[in-house]
Amino acid sequence: MSLFQQDKRASLWDHLALLVKWRRELIIFMTIMALSSVTYSIFAKQWYFADSRVLPPSNNSMGLAGLIPNLDSGLLGAMTGMTGEVKLMASVLDSRLMMDRLINKFNWM
């Protein structure tokens, strides 16, 4: 094997020397990319919307929630007399997916 055919592998110091050599171009490139991504995120149209609800546990649940059955009813729940199952069905029917399905089924505007 001759001297010119030796397999030379790059070490960590070789990579660091390249980073130091091209540091100005790297900083400029990173700054341009950061500014362009921030600009895009500010001016892009927001097409998403998220909504979530926490439903009360069922009446036959174990633990502390089972010991206090009317914990989730509150003043409005006590006045309407709605049970847990009725509240669950009302919250499911109030969801966007169910509203869309009902509108499409009955051809509502």
Q: What is the pLDDT of residue 75?
A: 47
**Per-residue pLDDT tens for 15-30?**
999 999 999 999 999 9
Q: Is residue 20 part of a domain?
A: yes
How many structural domains does the chain have? 2
Q: Is residue 61 part of a domain?
A: no
- Residues 69-102: tens digit of each pLDDT: 555 445 444 555 666 677 777 777 777 788 888 8
In a domain, 22, yes or no: yes
Predicted TM-score (pTM) of this structure: 0.39
| Mean pLDDT, range 100-107, rounded to an integer | 88
Residue 91 lies in a domain: yes
Which residue segment(s) compose the domain that 93 sits in?
74-106
Closest CA to 91 of 77, 71, 105, 75: 77
**Coil/strand/helix, residue 90:** helix
Whether residue 67 is contained in a domain is answered as no
Does residue 53 lie in a domain region? Answer: no
- Give the pLDDT confidence of 37-56 residue by residue, as tens digits: 999 999 998 887 777 777 66
Asked if residue 56 belongs to a domain, the reply is no
